[in-house]
Structures are given as C-alpha cells and as structure tokens.
Structure 1
Amino acid sequence: MNRPCSGLARRGFLLATATAAAAALAFTAGCAGDTGKTADPTNAAETGNPKRGGTLRAAFPGGGAGETLDPHAASLFVDAARAKALYDKLADFGADLAPVPRLAERWEPNTTLDTWKITLRKATFHDGRPVTAEDVLYSYRRIADPKGTFRAKASLEPIDLAASRALDASTVEFKLKRPYAEFPNVLAAFGAYIVPKDATSFDKPIGSGPFTYRSFTPGKSLVVKRNDAYWEGAPHLDQVEFVVASEESARVSALLGGQVQYAHELSPATARTHEGKGKIEVIRLPGSSMQGFVMKTDRPPFDDKRVRQAFFLIADRKELVDGALSGAGEIGNDLFGKGYQYYPSGLPQRTQDLDRARALLKEAGAENLKVTLDTAPAATGFVEAAGIFKEQAAKAGVTVEVKVGNKDTYWKDIRDNGTFASYRSGSMPIESHISQRLLTGSTTNATKWRQKDFDDLYQQAQSTRDEKERAALYERMQRRLYDEGGFLIWGFADWIVATAPAVHGVDAKAPANTLDWARFDKIWIA
C-alpha cells in the first residue's frame, strides 16, 4: 500500500511501469526542485520538540490506474495508508493487536454481549460537519451491502444492521446476531472507515482524518495537506505526497537520491545492504507477518496428528528465519500472533528433534514418507523456506518434493488443493485469526481444521464477559493447536521501511496495519 506526490505526478511520474534506472530518472525530473527532508525513525518515543512544516514524500508499491480513494475498497498497503491519512475508524489496533478507541470514545456491552453501545467523540469531517451516529450506520451499511465486494464486509457479519440504530447524534446501538465479547475488533477492522452519510463519490473525498484531499492521479500520486481542525491535533507536516513506485529498486533509488523521504516495503537483503551506512535509516516493524506452512488436516498424510507433530519437530526454525528471511524476524512456535494480546507465551519453545520425529512417523506408519510442498514467489522467503525445509525433512527420512507454482494464482490454487503449502499472514487479533481460519465454517480455513469442541470453546469465549476467563479459554484453544494443529509456524517476519536521516517520529514498534503504522500525522522533518 502506497502514496504519491504532486510534483512527481505533474511531471509524469511513471514508476509503476518503469525500470529501476528510468524510475530513478523520473524521480529526479519530478522533484528536483523540492528539498523536503525527513527524520530519525528509530526514535519512536522521541522527546524532542517536533518541528512544524514541510512536505514528506512517501513511496509505496501501487495498484495501477484502477486505484481509488474509496476507503471501503482498500486492499493494498498503499490503500490503507491513504485511507488512514484521510479517514478515521471507530477503533484501531495497538501494537499488541488489542483495539484502541478512535472515533469511538468508548464502548459498552449489555450483560449478554449481544448489544453494544458506542459513544462517539467530538470530531468533524473536512467540510466542517460533525461525525454522527448516522454517518457510522451509513458507512457500515454501505460496506455490508450484498451487492458490494468490500473487504470489511466479512468482519461486519456479526452485526444485525437492520436492528441497529442511532440513539442520538453521538450514540450508536449495535445489535448483534450472537454474543461477541471481542466486538471492538470489528470496529477496528481493515477498511471499516467512517464516511459522511451522503458520500457516493470519492473523486474529491471528505473524511475526518488528519489530512485533507488536495489532488490524486491513480497509479501515480496522492497529495494531502494538514487538517488543522483534526480532533487529535493537527499533523506536524504541511503536506504528504504519496508516490507510487512498484519496484523496490525504484523506491530505494529515490530515497537515496533525496526525491522521497520514506520508502515502504524493503526486502531483508536490501535493508542489510544499506543499514548503518548513514544514508538512510532502516526501521524494522516486528511481528508484522507470520511465516509458515499449512498441513491440510482433512487428508493423508496430515489427517494423522502424529505426522503433523513429526513435522513440527523436523523444523529448525532459526535456520529457516536466517535463510529465508535473512535473519529479519524471530522464530515461531506453531501459534499465530507472537506478542499479541492473548498469546500463550508460557508454552515451551519447540525445537528440532529428528529422533522423536522419526519415532512419530514410524508410529503413524509413515516411514519413508513422500509429500509435495506447494510454494511460489508469492511472498518474501517462500521458495527459500521450502528448499530449506526440504533439506531438514530429508534428515528425518522424509522426501519433500518442492513444487513452485504461479505467484498470481497461488492463494487460489492452494485454498482447497494439495496437502502441504507455504503460508503467510499479516497482523490481526488472535481472535480474528481463530474465527476466520480455524472454525468449521471459517471462509479461509487453509488447514481444514474442523473440530466441534474447538468451535464450542470459541463460542464460549465470546459469551464470557470476564477478560481473564476469556483469556484462559483462548489459551486452551491455542494449546490444542500447539499440540495437534495444522499450522507449522516457523517465524515472524519484520516489515521493513526506510527513511531519510532527517525524518523523526516513525514508530519502530508498530506492526504493519496497526494504529501507529504509517502515522504520517505524527512524523516531522528536522
């Protein structure tokens, strides 16, 4: 997800289709007269006095000429970053993926957790109108429209929007279809932005975010300027220009050349090349991406939990992180969400044990096992990790055939087909991971984990008001997955961004897609 710049757009900034060399020239031609600077991103908690003013240019991979500023249509990082600049959600996720109030000042459930009252803070849209309960209901009904294809639609499914209502201008009553203790996660869902109740066109969007619209050229640039009336305080910067640069080499060249001051999404190898040399600041956002393999539990050989347990023990996780991610991450323990709210950090760290793996395979009658591992260059480290695991498995007497597929159709290809495949996931609450991927009716149940008693535990958790009791239920579910689940989670990759040395205020602890990721309203130029 990315952003553009007016100067670059005016001069024909065509990085999305240019080669690295041509892209660098396009950057130079487009912004040669602008000397905007940036600050030290490693100082997430800087205590110095932020400076006001200046233009920050931020380079992101883009989505092409079909890009839109409709926040409900967001699907890429650039979409999310643009939407964050222009709009607000009722809530967003903190660094531990717990929901944090935004336009919602507070939320209160009834005793049965199937009705929630949301009180809005005082905030205004860019045209001066107040944000009201009717705007919230309009936005959610628009997202949930059966004719639409907005990504947040699935997240809003628990809400009975026909029965939900505005109690007054600043209070929304959401009626739910069932008890849902983690309902605030819905308020923070990706793409669940609030727009004015009469919004039908987004050519010149009006939101309530920290920046206001100035200009937009799809596939090239978005320019936004400071909203002095923003409810949380005006941004430090005068302006942000989101520049589209699909090739990593173009983003890095522009950053090194001073044409942009922020570059999103660098590979570990690129970061290693430039880190510590003084020309740019490399920021690693921890825990941003889960890395692993899926074992489909509904078919041989992985319908036998002993085979799954053996594969857990075959993995040398440090070797996988070092080899596939160039060390830019930390090892996993076969559970999603390391460091997030409800993560069971007390479980012992699993390590490679080839003797035990062989014994389990023998018990399962799976000696001399042969499996196909589907992978593709669909994400950083996928193909490399598959090759490394193949060598590790051979030491346990398992033959792994690595099958490299088409990166453009990979996720569709492995959704139902195959038995063993490379997998990754961005950040989301652990509850969302469970509900979307591990229940019998989950729409993206990649491991085909279907266990009624597990489903029942989840429903029990959603009917439990006490957070400690609910956390204990989540731990029971995760212990079950740790023992016999279908996700072999070997690592958590850092998301890597880089800035010019003069940029300050970038939060180095916020995973991608959380509240403090891409917070350009908190950045300043020294």
Structure 2
Amino acid sequence: MTEESDTHLPFPGLRRRGFLAATGAASLGALALSGCGGPGSDDGKGTGDGRPRRGGRLRAAFAGGGASETLDPHLANLFADVARAKALFDKLADYGADLSAQPRLAEKWQANKTLDRWQVTLRKATFHNGKPVTAQDVLYSYRRIADPTKGFRAKASLEPIDLDASHATGKRSIEFVLKRPTAEFPNILAAFGAYIVPENATAFDEKPIGSGPFRCVSFAPGRSAVFRRYDDYWEGAPHLDEIEFVVANEESARVNALLGGQVEYAHELDPTTARAHEDNGQIEIVRLRNSAMQGFAMKTDRAPFDDKRVRQAFFLIADRKELVDGALSGAGEIGNDLFGKGYEYYADGLPQREQDLGRARALLKQAGAERLKVTLDTSAVAAGFTEAATIFRDQAAKAGVTIDVKTGSKDTYWSDILDSGTLCCYRSGAMPIEAHISQRLLTGSTTNATKWHHKDFDALYQQAQSTPDTKDRAAVYARMQRRLYTDGGFLIWGFADWILGTARKVKGVDRKAPANTLDWARFDKVWLA
C-alpha cells in the first residue's frame, strides 16, 4: 500500500506506526466528508462552578489505519477503531478497571446450576433511529460475528455459545445455550469487538446505526470522523456536542497538534514525551497504570526451556527494576511472572521475585546448562522491546548465559514468534486473567507462545469454569497461578503505563482505567471546561 503526500495538510507528517500502512492523513479543519449524517444538536451551557459543562467539540488524535478504515464495529482492531466503535455502539457488558465484566446493554444475567445456560435481560435502550434494542438484534450481532467466512475479532470469544440453540425468550430477554459450563460467561459478553448492531445491518460506513452515546455525522477513512451527541442515550446524553477523531500516525505529530491547540486529546505518548511535559503546565499527562504486560516468552516444549530448572534460572536472572527503568523509561511497575497485576483473581500473595544470580547459576548447573547459549528474538514492533532484549542480555551474562539478540521484522514478528525460536520479547494488553489463560495457556490455545501444554492445567481451567462460587473459583485460579509462578514459560518483568495527553481544559478523563477497558477513551463522560 502506498502513502499519499501529506505536505499540503495543516498537520504534516502524520504517518502510521504499527502493523497497517497508511494512506492519507488527518485534516484538522472542516472537511467535506462523505458518509453518515444526523440531526443537529442544541447548544449546551456551562455551569461555571467546576461541574461538567455541556457543549463544544473535542478533537482526539489517534494513529489510524489509512484508507481501509471502517466503522464496522466487528472489524475494530486498532485503538482508533475501538475508540470510534465504543462511541457509536454498545456491548452487552464491558470490562471494569479490574477487568471484571460490568453490565452495559445487559441489565442482568443469571446462570443455571450447571453453568451451561445463561438468561440475559436487556435494559431499555434505543438505537440512533429510535428503534429499541431487542433480543433479535443481539442474536443477529453474535451470529454475524461468528460467521465462519468472516474474520471478525470477537469470533473466538463467542465460541463457547451454541448460537443455533440460543434464542429469544422475550423482546428483551435471551437464553444463551453453551457448549460447556462457563462460569466466566459475562467475559464473553464483554469480549473485544462483541458490539450489538441492528438486526440485518450490513453496511456501516454510509449510515451506521448504533446505540452508543454518539451518532455519526461524517466519516472519511484515514482522515477524520465526526460524531454528535445522542440525546436519548440510555446512560444519559454526553456532555460534549461533538467528538472528532483525527488520524495522526506519528507520536510527534500527535504531541505537536496537542501543544499547538489543534487537538485536545492525544492517544499513546512515549514515556520520554510524558516526562518532558509532565510538570510544565502546558498539557495534562494521564498515565493509565497496568495497561500492558511486558515480558519474555520461553518455549517450554523445546531445549533449553523444556527443563523447568532453566526457566526458573531465567526468572532469577531478571533484574525487573532495571528492565522497567531502562526499557520503559520508568513508566511502569515491576512484574512477578504472572499476568494481570491488580486484576480480578490475580494471585498477589506470592513473594515478589528478586534477582538471585547465585541461585540461577546453581539451577543452570543442575540442568547441565552452565555455558548456555540462546537466541532472544525481538523487534521494534513494540515500545521497549529492543531495549529490554539488550538489558536482559547483559543481565544473563552475569549468570554465565550468552544471549544472542536477533531483531526481526515488525511486519511478521507476531506470527513468527508464535511457533519459531525458543525465547522472545512479548507483551499483552489488558484482558481478564481467565481470557489470558484460555487464549494462551491451554493445550488448544491458538496463541500459545510458550507452548505450555499440560492436561492437568487444562483440567484446572475446566474446573474453574464449572465452579459457581466466586471464592471457590478464585482458589482454583490461585492454584493455577502458583503453578505458572513456579515453572511457567512467561517471564513477566513489568507492566507498562499507557500514556495520554490532553489539553488542560479537558476534564473527566478516567485515570484508573487500563487501555481496552470500559472507561478508556470514553468520551461521553468528558467535557471541556
């Protein structure tokens, strides 16, 4: 895909960083845009006393996906896609700050005793065309997502549902029939990309109709999208009159636009940028803690990491603070070789692992790996990856381990490292601990980067999913995490902050919600002071 020139635009230099190439760039002024439309909005009046003020347009800069961008919520993949989708559409549930499922369009849910049938009751909500959200809309949306001929993001998450057997039991009630007991069924309702669209909806870029807090005014793929307040939103009308999403692909472009007053919100800033502007008073820096797990994945099915003593030695080689300080510029906190620090079910009672080079050498000697040499795959595909690889190489040398750092292609890194190599840099965004286990640590998991294949571990997961009582289920998850802490394949050394920048007049931005959760990029609760 070729890139068109952007030198004529008021915001030059906007280029996509990531796995999609860009075509086009953002125009921050008025654009003659094609696509969706809606009625005008009334003028809001500020209160003048610090309470939320109604009115105004907020311009938010995100990295985009070029001319191939779409408003189809089931194709949402980039952060920009998700931010637009959650402004226009709703899910039945979404993830709270601790990654537990919180009701949204679903007012309540109730399981049977065997956890394989769930009754879901919808709240009273309407689509932007005034029609109520019904059970048929939900069933249509899920069946569309599950279409085997399509590549919709939430397809794998909906796999436990038998959509042929599931059915409406009323206008606003659904019985979901599951293929197996699933105690964490609400996580399916909150799955990334599981948005509800009107029954029979197929086109989304001309006149997309959702039930979200904003309705579409205009959309130019790779350039800009303008959404207007939906006054009849079930949770209350947004404070803003309008939100404009603009494409700014380079971090420097987003920052310069924020500093120059061309946007009021800039997504995904680097730690060095944050430090430079944190205390100068010109813009606000927002740090969303625990948003991205950072670590190394050891392939447990092949030498040398098929020996758990070698894995345990690597756990002890890592100086986690040095990795956070060096690879993340201090913008994060140390990990303890477990995913989901601060999330629901996290095993926070295990001792914090510290560097112990003497014990690491002893374990390597026991394993016959005193002069171990290993290749560490990395890439510039994610912030801190190449820095972390270099730092860990130097740490390992102190334990007598020689690490050869191999830098791979950004375009193919994630597919390459799933099956090849023995050791690689790895990261993950926020998701429930249950989802991390099911997607990455079961024998049949499709993204099992550590090749962790243990039938007894699989059985524990099924036991957790068959356990109705939350405390009893938490105990099973704790047991699974103790196993991973002892001899798993993920060396999780840190959790990175997700960093945003806003104009000082922007209020109401949630500072506790990790990226990918309900209150991240949630513009219906934001206002301009």
- Normalised by the length of structure 2, the TM-score is 0.92
Match of 1:85 in 2: 87
Is 1:326 equivalent to 2:329 in the alignment?
Answer: yes
Is 1:456 equivalent to 2:459 in the alignment?
Answer: yes
- Do the aligned partners of 1:16 and 1:219 also contact (CA within 8 Å) in 2? no
Structure 1: distance between partners of 2:95 and 2:182: 18
Quick one: which amino acid aligns to residue 343 of structure 2? Answer: Y
Is 1:96 equivalent to 2:94 in the alignment?
Answer: no
Structure 1: distance between partners of 2:27 and 2:124: 41
Q: Which consecutive unaligned segments of at least 5 residues does structure 1 have?
A: 1-7, 20-24, 32-46
Q: Secondary structure at the match of 1:78?
A: helix
Match of 2:119 in 1: 117
- Do the aligned partners of 1:155 and 1:186 also contact (CA within 8 Å) in 2? yes
- Do the aligned partners of 1:88 and 1:194 also contact (CA within 8 Å) in 2? yes
Is 1:314 equivalent to 2:337 in the alignment?
Answer: no
Higher relative contact order (CA 8 A, sep 6+): 1
Identify the match of residue 184 of structure 1 among 178, 183, 186.
186
Q: Secondary structure at the match of 1:201?
A: coil
- Do the aligned partners of 1:387 and 1:402 also contact (CA within 8 Å) in 2? yes
Q: Secondary structure at the match of 1:488?
A: strand
- Do the aligned partners of 1:373 and 1:403 also contact (CA within 8 Å) in 2? yes
Aligned residues: 498
Is 1:172 equivalent to 2:170 in the alignment?
Answer: no
- Do the aligned partners of 2:74 and 2:193 also contact (CA within 8 Å) in 1? yes
Is 1:487 equivalent to 2:522 in the alignment?
Answer: no
Quick one: which amino acid aligns to residue 403 of structure 1? Answer: K
Quick one: which amino acid aligns to residue 143 of structure 1? Answer: I
Q: Secondary structure at the match of 2:188?
A: helix
Q: CA 1:307 to 1:243, structure 2 compared with 1: closer, same or farther past 3 Å?
A: same
- Do the aligned partners of 1:12 and 1:30 also contact (CA within 8 Å) in 2? no
Match of 1:381 in 2: 384
Match of 1:244 in 2: 247
Q: Percent identity?
A: 74
Structure 2: distance between partners of 1:136 and 1:368: 58
Match of 2:225 in 1: 222
Match of 2:297 in 1: 294
C-alpha deviation, 1:16, in angstroms: 3.8
Q: CA 1:18 to 1:266, structure 2 compared with 1: closer, same or farther past 3 Å?
A: closer
Is 1:445 equivalent to 2:448 in the alignment?
Answer: yes
**Deviations 1:267-316 (CA, angstroms, capped at 9, x unpaired):** 11111111110111000000100000000000000000000000000000
**Deviations 1:342-376 (CA, angstroms, capped at 9, x unpaired):** 00101000000000000000000000100000000
Quick one: which amino acid aligns to residue 107 of structure 1? Answer: W
- Do the aligned partners of 1:13 and 1:220 also contact (CA within 8 Å) in 2? no
- Do the aligned partners of 1:89 and 1:187 also contact (CA within 8 Å) in 2? yes
Q: CA 1:359 to 1:439, structure 2 compared with 1: closer, same or farther past 3 Å?
A: same
Quick one: which amino acid aligns to residue 341 of structure 1? Answer: E
- Aligned pairs for 1:189-268 within 5 A: 189-203=191-205, 204-268=207-271
**Deviations 1:130-177 (CA, angstroms, capped at 9, x unpaired):** 000000000000000011100100000000000000001000110000
Identify the match of residue 401 of structure 1 among 396, 401, 404.
404
- Aligned pairs for 1:340-419 within 5 A: 340-419=343-422
Please tell me the root mean square deviation across aligned C-alpha atoms, in Å: 1.7
Quick one: which amino acid aligns to residue 287 of structure 2? Answer: R
Structure 1: distance between partners of 2:73 and 2:165: 25
Structure 1: distance between partners of 2:197 and 2:135: 11
Is 1:523 equivalent to 2:506 in the alignment?
Answer: no
Q: Secondary structure at the match of 1:306?
A: helix
Query: Which runs of at least 4 in structure 1 moved beyond 2 Å after TM superposition?
Result: 10-19, 25-31
Q: Secondary structure at the match of 1:65?
A: helix
Structure 2: distance between partners of 1:469 and 1:386: 39
- Do the aligned partners of 2:10 and 2:27 also contact (CA within 8 Å) in 1? no
Structure 2: distance between partners of 1:174 and 1:222: 35
Q: CA 1:124 to 1:30, structure 2 compared with 1: closer, same or farther past 3 Å?
A: closer
- Do the aligned partners of 2:26 and 2:248 also contact (CA within 8 Å) in 1? no
Quick one: which amino acid aligns to residue 210 of structure 1? Answer: P
- Normalised by the length of structure 1, the TM-score is 0.93
Q: CA 1:205 to 1:29, structure 2 compared with 1: closer, same or farther past 3 Å?
A: closer
Q: Secondary structure at the match of 1:277?
A: coil
Structure 2: distance between partners of 1:510 and 1:341: 14
- Do the aligned partners of 2:16 and 2:64 also contact (CA within 8 Å) in 1? no
Q: CA 1:451 to 1:213, structure 2 compared with 1: closer, same or farther past 3 Å?
A: same
Structure 2: distance between partners of 1:74 and 1:16: 21
Structure 2: distance between partners of 1:467 and 1:148: 35
Q: Secondary structure at the match of 2:66?
A: coil
C-alpha deviation, 1:48, in angstroms: 3.8
Structure 1: distance between partners of 2:426 and 2:406: 14
